[in-house]
Structure 1
């Protein structure tokens, strides 16, 4: 789960990381009021969306007056911010963060990530801040500083000092840098984060080390331990299909294809998408309905898949171990009777109670296409979609 910049800064501040003075605003009038509250003569207005590259896309503006803040925020609110991370559809701007401008002497990149290869927290830092770490790594690999945290003892102060020296921090500011590094690490560890990124971390001309921007991502499976983090979720920044799926306990990832997938098990779902591609189709989603595939759960999955207007065929692929094929078949029949669909539906069942499941499908009277193997199911789905596309010129290939 991602959160907004202002939320990440509030968390990091509570862990001892320095941040500039700032406040949230939901309207142009409130933004100008926030600036007056802070005082000063220069402010930065930042669109709050879950995406990087906001500055290049016009989502970060430096303002020098109330009038300028009013004009900038009026142009932002209600608009879609399109960056290299959002895709062409962009993300809506419904709130902005107004921050007091600070005198920047230099910028640094700082990131904490979970390195799955070493099963350790990895600290990645660079003297070159203000740009994507991928660009820094490609253009100036020598500027990258890396350190691994031993989980048995956590991040140590001597490691923080080594990182500070490697980044060229002045001796008088090393202790500030140590405090910043330890604060970011503790936030990462204590809140089950999967990423903490401060870019840029700035050294000001008056010798302060401040997080000028911040991003945090959390392990969704650990949110039950942190209700205060769960409350920070902003559904307006999420794919509505994925948001609906999460609310219903389903694992869903929207894709750009046109063949909807309803599968149990993440590995089988991946194999199903690969097989659809091999058969010449394009999957519209990754959907794992999980181990307890009750009829109600299958019906929910159908409604979710059909909420995607791009779906022009559906493949149900169930290998029942914990599940039962008759339950899945009942769910398929119930879903199609309650809410008939006008696209081809192919069902492949295997495993526990497969004969009973096949019998339910056969006796349903519904125009279902049945298959025995995964390859057969994928080929029949693609063939049915192409035939349906040929009959209905309103449908088009993706």
Structure 2
């Protein structure tokens, strides 16, 4: 689950991490009032969306307007906010469709001496959390990794012990910090690592981590995402979820107990099992097609869930055909066919439908398809089904 920058900073501040003073604004007048309340000579007005690249992003309605701006007066804060709020911000991460801005963060300006990069993720190689740092703060970490990989520092830490003090100090020295900045870094790094563990995060990214003129360390920007599989332990975090930032069909699928991810293709996929779903998408691509989604109904889905899965797939106007690939174990093949035929009767399937079945009750399921009288194309195996599905689209 992703959250906004202002929410991430609120949670980090509660964990003891130093963040700038900031005020959330939902109107231009509130942005102006926030500037006055903060009382500095410079403030930053930041668009709040679930995407990076906001500082370089521009608005569809106001191409000259950036998603993050420095302002030196309440009037400037108001003017910029009036263009930002209710407009669509396009960044390198949103795609051409962009995201609607409905909330701003007005934040105090900082006296920046240096900018560092800091991140915490789960490392598959070590099987635990790892802290990533770089002297190249304020830049896209992917660019740094590609051009100057030696400038990216790694520090794995134990999930039980957290980041130890000596690890934090060593990392601070490798970042070129000195004097009071080393002590500030030791405190902030250990706090951040513990926040990652305590909150079951999947990612924490601070870019930039600001080193002030006084040698203090302050979070300049923050991205935080939580492991959705652990949310049952963090019910208090659900209040931070912004459904308007999520794909509506993915939200609907989640409510029905389905795993769905929207993609850019035109061939819908209904599969049971994540590994089988990945293989299905791969073979569609191999035979010249483009999957429109990842949809896993799981091993124990019922008729209503499978019917809902078809409804979600067909809600995407880009879908011109559907490939159903089921390996019957707990999920019996005849259950899928019953749901498939129910979907025909309830919502109608007007696009080519190709079905490949194997496993429990497969003979019964194939008989049901043959006797249904519906124009369903049956694949003898996965390769045959993928080829027929792609061909049905005229590819």
- Normalized against structure 1, the TM-score is what? 0.94
Q: Structure 1 stretches of 5 or more lacking a match?
A: 387-396
SS in 2 for 1:287: strand
Q: What does residue 63 of structure 1 align with?
A: 71
Q: What does residue 111 of structure 1 align with?
A: 119
- State the Cα distance separating 1:152 from its structure 2 match: 4.3
Q: What does residue 48 of structure 2 align with?
A: 48
- State the Cα distance separating 1:186 from its structure 2 match: 1.0
The answer to whether residue 234 in structure 2 is matched with residue 239 in structure 1 is: no
Q: What does residue 27 of structure 2 align with?
A: 27
The answer to whether residue 207 in structure 2 is matched with residue 199 in structure 1 is: yes
Alignment partners' CA distance in 2, 1:165 and 1:76: 40
Q: What does residue 214 of structure 1 align with?
A: 222
SS in 2 for 1:293: coil
Q: Calculate the aligned-residue CA RMSD, in Å.
A: 1.4
- Of 238, 258, 273 in structure 2, the residue corresponding to residue 250 of structure 1 is 258
Alignment partners' CA distance in 1, 2:162 and 2:17: 18
- Of 272, 275, 280 in structure 2, the residue corresponding to residue 264 of structure 1 is 272
- Normalized against structure 2, the TM-score is what? 0.95
Q: Structure 2 stretches of 5 or more lacking a match?
A: 58-65
SS in 2 for 1:231: helix
Q: What does residue 393 of structure 1 align with?
A: none
State the Cα deviation string for residues 73-131 of structure 1 (Å, max 9, x = none): 11111222111111111111111100011111111111111111111211111122101
Q: What does residue 390 of structure 1 align with?
A: none
- Of 155, 166, 190 in structure 1, the residue corresponding to residue 198 of structure 2 is 190
**CA contact 2:22–2:106 (8 Å) conserved in 1:** yes
Alignment partners' CA distance in 2, 1:321 and 1:61: 56
- Of 347, 357, 361 in structure 2, the residue corresponding to residue 353 of structure 1 is 361
Q: Hey, which bits of structure 1, 4+ residues long, moved more than 6 A? A: none
Alignment partners' CA distance in 2, 1:316 and 1:107: 50
The count of residues paired between Structure 1 and Structure 2 equals 387
Alignment partners' CA distance in 2, 1:299 and 1:45: 46
**CA contact 1:16–1:179 (8 Å) conserved in 2:** no
**CA contact 2:116–2:209 (8 Å) conserved in 1:** yes
- Of 358, 369, 378 in structure 2, the residue corresponding to residue 370 of structure 1 is 378
The answer to whether residue 4 in structure 2 is matched with residue 4 in structure 1 is: yes
Q: What does residue 301 of structure 1 align with?
A: 309
